[in-house]
Amino acid sequence: MARPHRLRAILNIPVYATTQNAARLGPICSELSLTPSTFQTDKAIDKTAFSMLVPDLQSALHAAMSSPYQVAIVGIETHICVTQTVLDLLADGHKVYVLADGVSSCNEGERGVALRRLEREGAIVTTSEGWLYECMGDASIDEFKAIAGLVKETKAKTTDAVQTLCKM
């Protein structure tokens, strides 16, 4: 999956991040290359709720854009935090994409069950590459070359993620 900070830079897509009780569970993993300058907010929003749609994030979203939102979700524990976040966003009337190659669960069997449920609830379950091209809509946009280059550059990692995570 392409690195979020590069997508933000190319397509001007805001990135919001949360941590789950960082004092006990730790910060966002370094492999995501997320730094405070990557986020729409000053830092990742720490929470204890399983949904990331906590008041601090809701305030940041309302301040930055008008509702309804189109949201792409990546994260861990698909059957817990991702599910509760997606259900909250759908209940508020937002269009939600769950990037299947960007979500995981510590219990492998939980992931597929959660993705099928989220799809039934109205989320769009797709891959990061499919979502990127849907965002662009047309190869004639100025950003197309940069995105096509990013897709090519991250193809091996994306292929591994899809083959590993997208067995539903």
8 Å CB contact between 111 and 103:
yes
Two structure tokens written together for 126: 């797709």
pLDDT tens-digit profile of 63-116? Answer: 887 778 899 999 889 999 999 999 999 999 999 999 998 898 988 899 999 999
- Over range 24-51, report the average pLDDT: 72
CA contacts within 13 A on the Cβ side of 144: 8
Omega within 30 of 0 (cis) for the link into 36: no
Tell me what the pLDDT averaged over the chain comes to: 83
As a whole number of angstroms, the distance between CA 39 and CA 4 comes to: 10
8 Å CB contact between 52 and 41:
no
As a whole number of angstroms, the distance between CA 139 and CA 59 comes to: 34
pLDDT tens-digit profile of 111-136? Answer: 999 999 999 999 999 988 889 888 88
More confident residue, 140 or 41: 140
pTM assigned to the model: 0.83
